Amino acid sequence: MARPSDALVLDLDTRAGLCLTRSLGRAGHRVAVAARDPAAPGLRTRHATARFVLPEPDGDFEAYVAAVLDRLERSGAGVVLTSIDADLAVLHGRRDAVSRFAVPAVGSPAAVDVAIDKARTIAVAATLGIPAPRSLPARDADEVETAAAELGGVVVVKPVRSWRAVGAGSERVEPRFAGSVAEARGIGERLVRPDAPALVQEVATGGRE
């Protein structure tokens, strides 16, 4: 019988997942890896002691959760790591189920709740004196339009949470740039709803890190 893995890294579709695997492997740990794309280059890393393929989380999130738990049990890993929103939704949102098989390498429930919520993150930044673009909440297209007009028309519409439920599935929502109030409203009509609110932010100019 194969030895259990020390860790399972879930997102070998990404460079971050590959970097995690390499770091753990070079430190002498046995690392199982998983990816949604069976052809993901990361699955070919020499540091992997076991390889798994996961379904896409978008169509049926419960099936995705079940698949992650299955791979955890099969790998025998003591800890599970990720760097993407979909898997964080599993490790954080289903923490009790995950913990039956392995320790989820994520922050405390309270810390993750803040980290995945842009409105709460900005509020914490304000208490620490960290500047952030002016941001107005919006729960529908009308509120997006009003906020965009107040901020001068050129704005960024950001989902409060990047990973959100859609029926039985889920989706990752990217921030969208709007060059006018009308464009912002169009984005609001497509992306914003009461159970999936957004922040409308002024555009911060200048260099990037």
pLDDT tens for 92-101 read 989 999 999 9
Q: Where are the domains of the chain?
A: 7-112, 118-202
Q: What pLDDT digit, counting tens, does each position of 111-162 carry?
A: 999 999 999 999 999 999 999 999 999 999 999 999 999 999 999 999 999 8
Closest CA to 178 of 198, 207, 194: 198
**CA distances (Å), origin 137, targets 9, 52, 93:** 35, 40, 24
With 50 as the cut, is the pLDDT of residue 194 above it?
A: yes
Whether 57 contacts 82, CB under 8 Å = no
Q: Report how far residue 44's alpha carbon sits from residue 3's, in angstroms, rounded to the nearest whole number.
A: 20
What is the pLDDT averaged over residues 4-22? Answer: 94
Res. 53 pLDDT band, cuts 50 70 90: very high
What is the pLDDT averaged over residues 16-35? Answer: 96
Exposure on the CB side of residue 153, measured as CA atoms within 13 A: 4
Counting DSSP H helices and E strands in the chain, the numbers are 8, 11
Higher per-residue pLDDT: 66 or 4: 66
What is the pLDDT averaged over residues 96-107? Answer: 95
First to last CA, the chain: 47
What is the pLDDT averaged over residues 16-39? Answer: 96
Q: In which residue are the tokens 């709740």 written? A: 113
Asked: is 7-112 a CATH 3.30.1310.10 domain? The reply is no
With 70 as the cut, is the pLDDT of residue 1 above it?
A: no
pLDDT of res. 168? 63
With 90 as the cut, is the pLDDT of residue 206 above it?
A: no
With 90 as the cut, is the pLDDT of residue 69 above it?
A: yes
What is the pLDDT averaged over residues 77-103? Answer: 93
Higher per-residue pLDDT: 172 or 111: 111
Tell me which H or E stretch contains 177: strand 176-178
What is the pLDDT averaged over residues 76-98? Answer: 92
**CA distances (Å), origin 152, targets 128, 137, 142:** 27, 15, 16
Residue type for position 139: R
Give CATH for domain 118-202. 3.30.1490
Q: Report how far residue 136's alpha carbon sits from residue 147's, in angstroms, rounded to the nearest whole number.
A: 6
